[in-house]
Chains A and B, each alone.
Chain A
Amino acid sequence: MRLQARTTVLWQWLLFAPVAAVVSAFTLCALLIVWADASVWEAYALVIKGAVGSRFGITETLTRATPLIFTGLAAAAAFRAKLWNIGGEGQFYMGALVATVLGTGLLPLPAWLLIPLLLIAGAAAGGVTLLLPTLLKARYRVDEVVTTLLLNFIILLFVSYLLDGPIKDPMSLGWPQAKSVIDEGVIPPLIEKSRLHYGFIFALLASTGFWLLLYRMRLGYEIRAVGSNPIAARFAGIKVNRVLLKTALLSGGIAGIGGVCELAGLKGYLTLDISPGFGYSGIAVAMLALLHPLAVAPAAIFISAVFVGTDSMSRALNIPSYLADVLVASSILLVMVFVLFSRYRIVKG
């Protein structure tokens, strides 16, 4: 048995691949539920009920999807240029950190000025954070996977240091947390009596903007060219390194905005656990979306629903909530396999 390239790409397969991956992931994880002595149907019914079965569930799913859309877009933007940015987590924290520094009273500005300013500053912080590893890649051929991963740890320790001292809220009774964002900097809620905020709208705008950039603008064309074949792109007159640096600013910037929105829209103040791994889950979002900008938001909402639903299910049935992470991680691997079969088929011999 071996793989043989198909003469044409099966587009039906490509659309079907994420669905097939998710169904397979849920089927495999049923074994873990059986092991926990629970009924699989009941467990999955509770997941669905917890995620979309109530007004609270739905708004909670969308709230939790907001940072995932940003980190998912960040991963998709970078992966499209084959820039392996695994540092979404760190860039997310840098965005939240800069918003904390500027938004907790340093700049006494009206809301219409302060909120855009915080978003821009967060984007700049995230972008610069990814610019450094990309410069090292372009100039010294340092593998960006390792540097972006290691930077996540460095940034988290740096934030931890700042929360212990320089930006610690003196009123926090010893907890390592920063002062709250001032009222003018708070991103307003979208629906009353819920935690959903305008950050969700910003995330959808970012998705649309990224789609326009990728398919309607020159930089997008260059990103796609560099991603599919950097050597050919160079011969076509594209300055590959320059495109990579622009991609880095874009990708890191989007992740940074995600951090600002989570801080100013939801949490209010910076702590060390503002992101439970949104940067890493963003990679899963991007993969499930097959790196397409418009598919990122649905993929993020789906993955968020898995997290929210599993949370409430695991409390009801006493199953460890790590099940959600297992589901998401196995769908990353499975979606790659299903996508492969849109381009290859198995033949004998």
Chain B
Amino acid sequence: MFWEILIQAGFWAAAVRIATTYLLGTLGELLCERVGVLNLGIEGIMTVGAMAGWMWAYHTGDLWSAVLFAFFIGCMAGLLHAILTVFLGLSQHVSGIGITLLLSSLSYYVFRMLLPSTTTPPKIIPFDEVEIPLLSDLPVIGEAFFNQSPMTYLAVGITLLFLYVLNRTPLGLALRLVGENPAAADSQGIPVYLVRTGAVMVGSGLMAIGGAFLTLSHFDAFYFGMINGRGWICVALVIFASWRPGKAFWGVILFAAIEAFQLRVKSITGGLPYQFYLMLPYIVSILALVFLAKNAAYPRSLLIPYRRGER
């Protein structure tokens, strides 16, 4: 039974679909942390991305501009986090938690204001799956990996872009240097504050797209509490990936496969109460941290604000 699930195309298609939100959120968090800024606003930024993207699509009917709008809102949230933690050097922990609380409650407030008296949430027409020519004709693999939402392909494209930019370009070198040793970067003429702010903004934008995937592609409506800890899991996945985009990609796929697997096993066996299956992603995240955190190579300046001339 175990192996039967693993060779089903539908199982892997579901895993890849689940992986998309985690992939975008994990890459966004990874970018923030690579320049030395922990972004615990992720949970709230994903919520606001899910709400703003959906609301845009609901009013305009256009999906791609909704993705862009979610990205923009995420960037603004990132700017707020950057002002507080990069320019003012405040505690990244407290600022992130504060932003999560602020953006979640603000999202709900805005949603209620714009749609005051709806008991059943209104729906939009979400992204349709797009078949990639030739590749989607492959048996099993084609249906599993090459017949997905265009946002999933976007997420994979962003992963490749991350791999290229971080490892092969001067910009990537600047990003990594700022995260490892901001004083050295400063002495090389790299504008530390600007690099950090830019990275946190783009990273937060990606988190928001990750949230928007839920309302624009995976589901078709915005629900209260729909992010449900996915952001925190991304923070754990970044550590699991030891801050590398390539490892993040495979880590996310593995994690999403576990989540898709528990959904299927649950429908077959029905033995354990459903709550234990729902616990599984959180437990797996904690276990992954326990096994990996001790040897994790943190970006050296993570959590440490940079003030020129101060040690």
A-side interface residues toward B, CB under 8 Å?
2-3, 5, 32, 35-36, 84, 86, 136, 140-143, 145-147, 149-151, 153-154, 157-158, 160-161, 164-165, 280, 283-284, 287, 318, 320, 322-323, 325-326, 328-330, 332-333, 336-337, 340
CA of A160 to CA of B276, assembled, Å: 10
- Partner-binding segment picked from B18-26, B89-97, B203-211: B89-97
CB pair B290 A140 closer than 8 Å: yes
In the complex, how many angstroms separate the beta carbon of A130 from the nearest chain B beta carbon?
14
- Are A329 and B102 in touch, CB under 8 angstroms? yes
Beta-carbon contact of A333 and B290 below 8 Å: no
Of B95, B109, B289, which one neighbours A142 at CB under 8 angstroms?
B289
In whole angstroms, what is the CA distance A78 to B13 when docked?
43
Report whether B275 and A158 are in contact in the complex, using a CB–CB cutoff of 8 Å.
Answer: yes
Contact yes or no, A322 B285, CB < 8 A: no
Q: Tell me whether B233 is interfacial, beta carbon within 8 Å.
A: yes
Output the nearest chain A residue to B44 by Cβ-Cβ distance: A329
- Closest 10 A-B residue pairs measured CB to CB? A325-B105, A329-B102, A329-B101, A320-B112, A161-B275, A332-B98, A322-B109, A157-B275, A142-B293, A150-B282
Contact of B109 among A147, A151, A280, A320 (CB under 8 A): A320
B247 interface residue, CB < 8 Å from A?
A: no
State in angstroms the CA–CA spacing of A309 and B212 once bound together.
33
Report Cα–Cα, A165/B235, bound state, in Å: 33
The proximity string for B residues 99-116 relative to A, scoring 1 for CB distances below 8 Å and 0 otherwise, is: 101101110110011001
Q: Whole-angstrom distance between the alpha carbons of A165 and B290 in the complex? A: 31
Chain B hits for A84, CB < 8 A: 93
In the assembled complex, the CB of B47 is this many whole angstroms from the nearest CB of chain A, namely 12
> Per a CB cutoff under 8 Å, which of A36, A146, A332, A333 touches B236?
A146
> How many Å from the CB of B279 to the closest CB on chain A?
5
Q: Please state if A329 and B98 are interface contacts (CB–CB under 8 Å).
A: yes
B102 partner residues in chain A, CB cutoff 8 A = 326, 329-330, 332-333
CB-based contact A136/B290 at 8 Å: yes
Chain A residues with Cβ below 8 Å from B99 are 333
Q: Which residues of B contact A142 (CB under 8 A)?
A: 286, 289-290, 293
Q: Does B307 sit at the interface, judged by CB under 8 A?
A: yes
Given A153-B229, A157-B275, A157-B279: A147 and B91 interface contact (C-beta under 8 Å): no
Tell me whether B168 is interfacial, beta carbon within 8 Å. Answer: no
B93 to chain A: which residues have CB within 8 Å? 84, 145
A interface secondary structure, majority: helix
User: Are B290 and A86 neighbours in the complex by a CB distance under 8 Å?
Assistant: no
- Chain B 40-77 residues near chain A, CB threshold 8 A: 40
Whether B5 sits at the interface, judged by CB under 8 Å, is no
Looking at B40, B84, B98, B276, which has the most chain A CB atoms within 10 Å of its CB? B98
Q: How large is the interface on B (under 10, 10 to 19, 20 to 34, 35 or more residues)?
A: 35 or more
* CB proximity of B306 to chain A, nearest CB, Å: 11
Are the CB atoms of B239 and A143 closer together than 8 Å? yes
Taking the closest CB of chain A, its distance from the CB of B57, in whole angstroms, is: 21
Contacts A143-B289, A157-B278 known; A337 to B233 CB distance under 8 Å? no
Bound-state CA distance A3–B308 (Å) is: 10
Cβ of A336: which chain B residues have Cβ within 8 Å of it? 84, 90-91, 94-95, 98
A348 → chain B closest CB, angstroms: 14
Alpha-carbon distance A325/B109, docked complex (angstroms): 9
Determine whether the beta carbon of B294 is less than 8 Å from that of A340. no
Contact (A86, B283) CB under 8 Å given A143-B289, A143-B293, A165-B273: no
* Contact A333:B84 (CB < 8 A) given known A142-B290, A150-B236: yes
B219 within 8 A of A: no
- The distance in angstroms between the C-alpha atoms of A153 and B233, with both chains bound, is 11
Cβ distance A58 to chain B, nearest Cβ, rounded Å: 25
Given A161-B275, A336-B95, A340-B90; A146-B235 close (CB under 8 Å): yes
Q: Are B290 and A287 in touch, CB under 8 angstroms?
A: no
- Contact (Cβ within 8 A) A147 B84: no
In whole Å, how far is A320's beta carbon from the nearest beta carbon of chain B? 4
Contact A333–B98 (Cβ < 8 Å): yes
Known contacts A145-B40, A287-B94, A326-B102; 12 additional CB pairs below 8 A are: A3-B89, A86-B97, A142-B290, A150-B233, A157-B279, A158-B279, A161-B275, A283-B94, A322-B106, A326-B106, A336-B90, A337-B84
Q: Decide if B293 touches A164 in the complex (CB within 8 Å).
A: no
Asked if B285 and A150 sit within 8 Å, CB to CB, the answer is yes
Check if B162 is an interface residue, CB within 8 A of chain A: no
The 8 Å CB contact of A320, one of B40, B108, B236, is B108
Q: Which has the most chain A C-beta neighbours within 10 Å: B95, B104, B108, B289?
A: B289
Known contacts A320-B112, A322-B112, A329-B105: A283-B273 contact under CB 8 Å: no
B135 interfacial by beta-carbon distance below 8 Å? no
Is A150 a contact partner of B286 (Cβ separation < 8 A)?
Answer: yes
User: 23 A-B pairs, CB-CB below 8 angstroms?
Assistant: A136-B290, A141-B293, A141-B296, A143-B293, A145-B40, A146-B235, A146-B236, A146-B285, A146-B289, A153-B279, A161-B275, A164-B273, A284-B101, A318-B116, A320-B108, A320-B113, A325-B108, A326-B102, A332-B97, A332-B101, A333-B99, A337-B84, A337-B88
Nearest CB in chain A: distance from B302 CB, A: 10
Q: How far is the CB of B301 from chain A (nearest CB, A)?
A: 16
Cβ contacts under 8 Å, A325 to chain B: 101, 104-105, 108-109
B200–chain A nearest beta-carbon distance, Å: 15
